[in-house]
Amino acid sequence: MASRPDPEQLLRQAQAEERYARRGRLKIFLGYTARVGKSYRMLDEGRRRAARGEDVVVGALQQSYSAEIEAILAHLEVIPMRIIDATPVVDVEALLARRPHCCLIDGLANSNPPGSRHRERWQDAEELLDAGISVIASINLQFIAERRAAVESIIGQARGGPAVPEEFVRSADEIEVVDAPPEAAAAPDNVRQLTELREIALLLAADVVDQQLAAYLRRHGIEQSWGAHERILLCLGDAPADAMIASGQRNAARFHGELLAVHVAPPRQKASATVLRNIELAQQAGAELVTIEATDFVRPVLELARERGATQIFLGHARLRRRWQPWRRGALYRLIRQAEGIDIRIFPAETSVSLES
């Protein structure tokens, strides 16, 4: 016999459906570094929607923009911003009176001067959403309050200034990560920084998707009874592995998974200071350590990965000395070929090491 619906659950479901129907939709273009084209992508999305017949207006622009953006603006209606103490501010009153279907807001993290309707621009967007007006906005990762410290530790500088609470970003119905152009990664340091920043952005985007799924299930009275579970295996060698370990820790935390670490070394080989430091960092990150004595790297790592059900293997890959390069490429190639369903993530390292370490 089917159980009777819980009246309180039905009430919560009805309230969630009502809020969803009344509120505008929020889409965010998220960049993880400067000058990647967030504003252009946002405005071009508005242009395409307007071309399909949607009522779209521009509610906020940066104070300077490119000729490409100027060309897009020629196809869109722009609601002039108010000027308060020489600062452009979203004209919320005009937008509420105009009531477009969708409003484009650039520079979501801007603060408003005293005397404005709201203290922060994201609060302007919040009011428009509550009034049933959809918003498309742009923001850089380092201007999300809860992510600022992590971003600043990666780029090595603190910029401060206004920030948007992550809770608002997580309320988005859609989030699109805007990737850096290839030329931005020309220098080795840039590759490392951009890789770490991109990972944070993608994890945040995945959180938004998870939150939207949970909201959908609540609106339809469906109980969620599953969750993501990852098992990440860190391969610790003779090169500094700080970035790899930090990445493994973030991914394990994000997916409520397990973090393992393995060090493979020939019998009676004394561990170097770098290896000992990597081991210490991995254990501080919450990894369970496994040490294996073997002259071959590939076989014991794959055996351990299969025994423990690892879903990802993280591996540092250094610049290789010319005379050993073919052999070492062969070991890495064998690992990738034999992984059979286990994802392999390779992290660049600056120090030359052997895959057998």
Q: Is residue 108 part of a domain?
A: yes
Same domain for 199 and 244, yes or no, is no
CA distance 233 to 47: 45
Q: Is 87 helix (H, G, I), strand (E, B) or coil?
A: strand
Please check whether residues 116 and 175 belong to one and the same domain.
Answer: yes
Instruction: Say yes or no: 50 and 157 in one domain.
Output: yes
Does residue 343 share a domain with residue 262? yes
Pair of tokens at residue 108: 């979501």
211 in the same domain as 273: no
Q: What pLDDT is attached to residue 312?
A: 92
DSSP state of 183: G
Please list, in sequence order, all residues whose beta carbon lies within 8 angstroms of the beta carbon of residue 298, skipping any fewer than 6 positions away. Answer: 331, 334, 335, 338, 355
Q: Which portions of the chain are predicted below pLDDT 50?
A: 1-2, 225-228, 319-328, 350-357
Q: What is the CATH number of the domain that holds 339?
A: 3.40.50.620
The structural domain count of the chain equals 2
Q: What is the pLDDT of residues 37-77, one digit of tens each?
A: 899 999 999 999 999 999 999 999 988 778 899 999 999 99
Do both 240 and 179 map to the same domain? no
128 and 178 part of one domain: yes
Please report the pLDDT score of residue 15 as a whole number: 67
173-200: b (≥16 Cβ within 10 Å) or e: bebbbbebeeebbeeeeeebbbbbbbbb
Please write the tens of the pLDDT for every residue from 280-303: 999 999 999 999 999 888 999 999
Yes or no: say if 104 and 58 are a contact pair by the CB < 8 Å rule: yes
Strands 258-265 and 82-84: unpaired
- 357 within domain boundaries: no
Q: Would you state the pLDDT for residue 5?
A: 57
219, 252, 286 — which closes off a domain?
219
Residues 237 and 345 in one domain: yes
Domain assignment present for 270: yes
Q: Which range of residues forms the domain containing residue 53? A: 7-219
Statement to judge: residues 286 and 237 lie in one domain: yes
